[in-house]
Every structure is written in structure tokens, then in C-alpha cells.
């Protein structure tokens, strides 16, 4: 009955008691371009790792060409033609381009010796096949991101691949580079190689794929030919429903315009962003979007004191500040919620309490010893205020859901009396219900506590819903400053697409 090249049947995977995948089924036919859609944290990367043999499923089976593959190892997966291009490319920075390219061929052939001439020949062929220019003797660590991706794609094509899995391949690319990538993908498909495109960007999926599978919370929720889907439908499947709430409105108070909470004048980070000027008044939520590498994160890091070499002026409530360390930024009233909650935001095995108080401990211990009753009071207050669902604040934060975890990070900053809140991807990997609640919290903070919020996000609907202004950034410069009143998701997305 199976006409697929590879098929997952009822796959189940559990990590430390947490179900990552359940009853997950997926069929990929030979030579098709298939999209696996899902929000961050929906289980996409677990699917990839199961298909490539990195993880062994706890239940269900994997079939390749109709035969079951119990206990498939990475080598077996590769031998059967499954290739993965990871988001981090999985290259060896300390080795040359040529060796990176030829490595899998050598491993696949179970060679014992390293033939450098053959390595170069293989690499040369790989690069030619892709139709690109690459210095084969360059160390991979010295290449720019786009170059590294080319190496990764060329490498995947090397071995006789029958399926290439691409994990969020367009994240770091400009529109022009995306078009080049799509040309290459169709070119690959013409050689009867299937492509599994793993993404959360709807337009790209609709543009490139033939079939789409949508997963949510580790389960498949929809599957079918691309023609059956449109953006709204995919969103609904990915998020589990439409959530529409009132767009955020900000009206300047009567009288003379208030002093901006945060103002930057001619901010420049050499090589990253140039001559940025922006003012955010109390109560404003300003959205910031742009491609990865547009300089948006560099701007955030500079504001958080992590780029001491910046040029230009930063003013908080009209007073110029010099932010050379994170401590100076925090003292100036700036709070930053980083992009990757799990690796940059949280101390996973530590308690909710310690995670919340992390930035406040020095303030809690003016005479060396921590004031425990005050610490307890602050924690309990925040658990209540942020509606964090937990019986005790002593629970390790790793046992919380994504939404509750993000509230812990927010709580940490609220305890520091922040005046400027910078959020980088505030609801990445957060389930729909929590997402709405976090948005409500952010709005409340701006509206009632007078914070200035800078919200950086890829999620255009999120920005349109929650910001009163949206700034678009490209190649280190602000390109547009759109008032939210006359902006729709369409206009922002279309504008972003023109960036090359």
C-alpha cells in the first residue's frame, strides 16, 4: 500500500517523560517536494532526527521503500539516501571546504584511507553540480553564512541522496538568495530526489511545495496537496485556531509630546547596523522586523550593553547613557528577553524562584546576605501577577510549559524596574493560548506601567496585532516606519519580500 520512499508510521518519542511526538505518520513520495509545517517547538526537529536515525523512536516504525527499518542508525539512514541539511549546517569549521564536502562519501564507502586527490575531485564535482563558486581550500569557519549553506547543500547532493531534508533553510537568506535556493531545489527534484522542506514560513511553503503536512504539539493535524491549502488554513492548523484580538492602539497624551523613554540617535555598530535613529515613547509598542542578519538582533544587543564598541547616542528619558556592559544597561532600565529562551534565557534545572530573581540577587543582598523573606515575597507576587501555573516556586523551570517559561523570563525583568523592554521573538515555541496571554501582559505593561517596548519578531501577525508602529530593517538600516493603523499583514509581508 505504501508508495512512499520513506514512511513514518505511528511514531512516538518521549524525552524524560515529555511526549515530543505521538502517533506521528508521514509519507514522502519519491521525487516530491514536501513541506513539513509547524511552529517552533511543535516537534519538527524531532521528526527530522528520527528520519535521519539520530533518535530511535519509542514506538511505531520507519519504512524505507516499503521495508521496516528497526533501530536505524545515522549511517544506515545515509546509506539509504536520507540527507539532512541542519539549520546550523553541521559542518566542521576546522576543516576545509573540500574535506567537508567529501567526508560523507568517504564514510559511506567505509573507506579507511583519506585520498586527498579524490577528495578534491569529489568536492570539485559537487561544487560544479551546484553551479556555484567556492574556494575548496578555504577553512569552513572562515566562510560567510551563505557560503556555509552552499557547502551544506553541495554536501547533501554528494552522496546518492534520494531525500534531502532542509531544516528552515531560508531563515538567513535574502529574497534573492531564496530564489536561488528554490531554483536549486527544483533542479534537485528534476533528478528524482525528494525534498522535505521544514519551515514555518507559509508563503515559501505554498510557493515551492507539492504536498504539505502540518504538525502541532507532536501530532499530525493536516495533510494534503498544496492546492488544498492557503495561508489562513495553514496558520489555523499550526496554531490550532484563529485568535483575533483588538489591535494595539496608542494615543499620545494631551499636551506637549512626552519625552521618549528610549531614543537612539545615529546608532552604528560597525559592520552590523548603521545610523539608526528611533524614539519610543512611554506606552508605545514598536515592532521591528527584517531578515535574519538585517542587524535587528545587533541593535538589541547594542541596547543591552553587549556591543561596547557602538557609536552614536542612546538616551533614556531624555538623559544620555553609555551602555558598555549589560550591568550598565540594566541599571539604565533596559531589559532584554533573548531570542532563544532555552539556551539564552533560562537556567533550566534551577528553580522558578532562582530564575526569576537571577538579576535581582545583588539588589536583594545589600549587606552581603540575601533577604530571604523579601525574596520569597517578590517571587510569590510575581507567580501570582504573571499567572504562572505551578504549585511551588521551588519547581525546576524545565518542568514548565513554554508559555510559563516565557512568563518567568518576563517576571525576571519586571522585578528590575525596567523602563524599556526589548523582546526578541517573545512567543517563539509558545502554545496559542499562552501566546495571547503573553501578548496581553506585554500590552498591559506598556499601557499601565508606561514601559517602552521594542518587539522584534518574524511573526508578522504578531507585530500587526500588538504594535502601534512597525519598523522594517534591512542591511543594517531602517527602511520603513509604518504606523499600525494603515498596515496589514499583507503590506508588511510584501514589503519584506522585496528585500534582497
Partner 1 sequence: MKTQMNIRSLINRDNNIVQLLVMTVLIFAVMTALSPDKFLRYYNFESITYIFPELGLLSIAMMIAMLTGGIDLSVVGVANLSGILAGVLFHKLAGAAGIADAGILTVLLGGVIALGTGLVAGTVNGLLITRLGITPILATLGTGQVFTGLAIVLTGGPAIVGFPTAWAFLGNGKILGLATPFVLFAVIAALIAFVLSRTALGINLMLIGTNPKAALFAGLKRERMVLYSYMLTGVLASVAGIILSGRTNAAKSDYGTSYLLQAVLIAVLGGTNPAGGRGTVLGITIAVAALMLLSSGFQILRFSNHLIDFIWGAFLLLVIAINAYKNRTR
Partner 2 sequence: MALLRRSETVIAGILLLAMVLIGTINPAFWQLDNLFSLMRSNVIIGIMAMGVLLVLISGGIDVSFPAFAVAAMYLTIKGMLALGYNGVVLPLLAATLMGLAFGAVNGFFVYKFRMIPLIVTLSTSAMVRGFLLGVVGTSMININKMPTALIDFARTDVVSVTKADGTTYGLTAMVLIYLGLALAMHLVLRYTMIGRSAYALGGDPEAARRAGFDLRKTIFFIYCVAGALAGFAGLLHSGMIWLANPRDFVGLELDVIAAVVLGGASIFGGRGSVLGTMLGVFMLVMVKNSLIIMHVDTTWQLVVVGLIVIAATALSAWRDRRRAA
Q: Rounded to whole angstroms, how far apart are CA atoms 28 and 220?
A: 14
Task: Give, in order, the Cα–Cα distances in Å from 169 to each of 98, 108, 117, 293.
Answer: 22, 24, 31, 14
Give least dist CB 105 to partner 2, A: 11
Residue 88 within binding range of partner 1, rule CB under 8 A: no
Partners of residue 390 on adjacent β-strands = none
Q: How many residues bind partner 2 (CB under 8 A)?
A: 27
CA dihedral 382, 383, 387, 391 (to 10 degrees): -170
Closest CB to partner 1 among residues 306, 479: 306
The answer to whether residue 373 forms part of the interface with partner 1 (CB under 8 A) is no
Residue 358 near partner 1 by CB under 8 A: yes
Give whichever of 89 and 248 is closer to partner 2, judged by the CB atom. 89
Q: Which window, 61-69, 189-197, 352-360, 442-450, contacts partner 1 (CB under 8 A)?
A: 352-360
By CB under 8 A, residue 240 contacts partner 2: no
β-pair partners for 165: 84, 196
C-alpha span between 449 and 284 (Å, rounded): 11
- 41-80 footprint of partner 2 as x/- string (CB under 8 A): -----------x-x------------------xxx--x--
Asked if 82 interacts with partner 2 (CB under 8 A), we say no
CA–CA separation, 380 and 392 (whole Å): 9
Based on the shown chain and the rule CB under 8 A, indicate whether residue 1 belongs to the binding site for partner 1: no
Q: At its nearest, how many Å lie between partner 1 and the CB of residue 332?
A: 11
Taking residue 321's Cβ as centre, other Cβ atoms within 10 Å add up to 18
Helices 175-189 and 145-158: crossing angle, nearest 10°? 0
CB of 201 to partner 1, least distance (A): 26
Consecutive H or E run containing 376: helix 372-385
Q: In the window 274-313, what residues touch partner 1 (CB under 8 A)?
A: 304, 306
Q: Candidates 104, 359, 390, 401: give the one binding partner 2 (CB under 8 A).
A: 104
Query: Which of partner 1, partner 2, none binds 104 (CB below 5-8 Å, type-dependent)?
Result: partner 2
Residue 246 CB burial class (10 angstroms; 0-12, 13-18, ≥19) = exposed
Q: Pick one of partner 1, partner 2, none as the site partner of residue 54 (Cβ within 5 to 8 A by kind).
A: partner 2
Q: Interface with partner 2 by CB under 8 A: which range of 112-120, 295-303, 311-319, 379-387? A: 112-120
Residue choice 10, 56, 68, 90 for contact with partner 2 (CB under 8 A)? 90
CB 83 within 8 A of CB 188: no
Dihedral sign for Cα 353, 354, 359, 360, please. positive
Q: Where are the alpha helices (DSSP H) in 415-475?
A: 432-449, 460-466
Q: Which residues of 275-298 are buried (b: 16+ CB within 10 A; e: fewer)?
A: ebebbbbbbbbbbbbbbebbbbbb
**Within 367-386, which residues bind partner 2 (CB under 8 A)?**
none
Locate 183 and state its grid cell: 531554483
Binders in 457-486 for partner 2, by CB under 8 A: none
338, 426, 429, 476: which one binds partner 1 (CB under 8 A) = 338
Give the Cα separation of 352 and 473 in Å (integer): 35
The CA distance from 389 to 407, in Å, is 10
306 binds partner 2 (CB under 8 A): no
Tell the smallest beta-carbon distance from residue 181 to partner 2 (Å). 21
Q: Write down the least CB distance from residue 457 to partner 1, Å.
A: 18
The dihedral region occupied by 417, where left means phi > 0, alpha psi between -120 and 50, and beta the remainder, is: left
- Report the distance separating Cα 193 and Cα 158, nearest Å: 12
113 makes contact, choosing from partner 2, partner 1, none, with CB < 5 to 8 Å by partner type, with partner 2
- 90 contact choice in partner 2, partner 1, none (CB below 5 to 8 Å, kind-dependent): partner 2
**Cβ closer to partner 2: 83 or 468?**
83
Nearer to partner 2, 93 or 349 (CB): 93
Say which entry of partner 2, partner 1, none residue 108 contacts (CB below 5 to 8 A, set by partner kind). Answer: partner 2
Residue 479 CA to residue 365 CA, distance in Å, equals 45
Nearer to partner 2, 137 or 444 (CB): 137
The cell numbers describing 140, all together, are 569552513
- Map the footprint of partner 2 across residues 118-147, applying CB under 8 A: 141
Rounded-to-integer distance, Cα 56 and Cα 198, Å: 20
User: Shortest approach of partner 1 to residue 412 CB, angstroms?
Assistant: 7
Among 1, 16, 70, 113, binds partner 2 (CB under 8 A): 113
Q: Cβ 386 to partner 1, closest distance in Å?
A: 17
DSSP 276: E
Q: 459 — alpha (psi -120 to 50), left (phi > 0) or beta?
A: beta
Tell me which residues touch partner 2 (CB under 8 A). 52, 54, 73-75, 78, 84, 86, 90-95, 99, 103-104, 106-108, 111-116, 141
Tell me which residues touch partner 1 (CB under 8 A). 16, 304, 306, 326-327, 329-330, 336, 338, 343-350, 354, 357-359, 361-362, 364-365, 368-370, 372, 412
Amino acid at each position: 500500500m505504501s508508495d512512499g520512499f520513506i514512511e513514518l508510521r505511528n511514531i512516538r518519542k518521549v524525552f524524560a517523560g515529555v511526549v515530543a511526538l505521538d502517533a506521528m505518520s508521514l509519507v514522502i513520495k519519491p521525487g516530491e517536494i514536501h513541506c513539513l509545517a509547524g511552529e517552533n517547538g511543535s516537534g519538527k526537529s524531532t521528526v527530522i532526527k528520527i528520519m535521519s536515525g539520530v533518535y530511535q523512536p519509542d514506538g511505531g516504525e520507519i519504512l524505507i521503500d516499503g521495508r521496516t527499518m528497526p533501530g536505524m542508525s545515522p549511517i544506515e539512514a545515509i546509506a539509504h539516501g536520507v540527507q539532512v541539511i541542519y539549520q546550523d549546517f553541521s559542518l566542521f569549521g576546522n576543516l576545509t571546504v573540500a574535506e567537508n564536502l567529501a567526508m560523507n562519501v568517504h564514510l559511506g564507502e567505509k573507506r579507511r584511507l583519506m585520498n586527498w586527490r579524490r577528495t578534491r575531485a569529489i568536492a570539485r564535482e559537487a561544487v560544479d553540480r551546484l553551479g556555484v563558486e567556492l574556494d575548496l581550500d578555504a577553512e569552513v569557519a572562515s566562510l560567510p553564512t551563505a557560503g556555509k549553506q552552499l557547502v551544506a547543500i553541495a554536501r547533501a547532493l554528494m552522496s546518492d541522496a534520494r531525500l534531502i531534508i532542509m531544516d528552515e533553510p531560508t531563515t538567513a537568506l535574502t529574497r534573492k538568495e531564496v530564489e536561488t535556493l528554490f531554483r536549486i531545489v527544483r533542479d534537485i527534484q528534476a533528478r528524482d530526489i525528494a525534498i522535505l522542506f521544514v519551515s514555518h514560513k507559509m508563503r515559501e511553503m505554498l510557493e515551492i511545495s507539492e504536498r504539505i503536512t502540518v504538525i502541532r504539539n507532536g501530532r499530525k493535524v493536516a495533510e494534503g496537496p498544496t492546492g488544498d491549502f492557503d495561508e489562513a488554513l495553514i496558520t489555523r492548523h499550526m496554531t490550532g485556531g484563529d485568535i483575533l484580538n483588538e489591535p494595539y492602539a496608542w494615543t499620545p497624551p494631551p499636551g506637549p509630546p512626552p519625552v521618549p523613554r528610549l531614543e537612539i540617535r545615529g546608532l552604528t555598530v560597525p559592520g552590523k547596523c548603521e545610523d539608526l535613529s528611533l524614539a519610543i515613547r512611554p506606552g508605545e509598542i514598536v515592532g521591528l522586523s527584517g531578515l535574519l542578519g538585517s542587524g535587528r538582533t545587533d541593535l538589541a544587543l547594542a541596547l543591552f550593553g553587549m556591543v561596547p564598541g557602538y557609536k552614536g547616542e542612546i538616551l533614556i528619558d531624555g538623559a544620555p547613557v553609555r551602555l558598555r556592559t549589560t550591568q550598565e544597561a540594566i541599571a539604565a532600565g533596559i531589559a532584554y528577553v533573548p531570542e532563544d529562551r532555552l539556551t539564552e534565557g533560562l537556567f533550566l534545572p534551577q528553580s522558578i524562584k532562582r530564575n526569576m530573581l537571577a538579576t535581582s540577587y545583588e539588589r536583594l543582598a545589600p549587606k552581603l546576605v540575601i533577604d530571604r523573606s523579601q525574596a520569597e515575597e517578590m517571587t510569590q507576587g510575581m507567580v501570582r501577577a504573571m499567572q504562572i501555573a505551578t504549585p511551588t516556586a521551588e519547581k525546576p523551570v524545565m518542568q514548565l510549559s513554554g508559555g510559563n517559561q516565557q512568563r518567568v523570563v518576563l517576571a525576571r525583568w519586571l522585578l528590575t524596574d525596567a523602563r524599556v523592554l526589548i523582546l526578541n521573538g517573545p512567543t517563539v515555541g509558545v502554545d496559542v493560548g499562552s501566546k495571547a496571554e503573553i501578548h496581553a501582559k506585554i500590552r498591559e505593561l506598556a499601557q499601565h506601567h508606561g514601559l517602552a517596548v521594542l518587539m522584534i519578531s518574524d511573526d508578522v501577525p504578531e507585530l500587526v496585532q500588538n504594535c502601534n508602529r512597525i519598523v522594517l530593517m534591512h542591511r543594517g538600516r531602517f527602511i520603513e516606519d509604518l504606523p499600525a493603523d494603515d498596515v496589514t499583514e499583507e503590506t508588511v509581508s510584501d514589503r519584506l519580500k522585496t528585500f534582497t
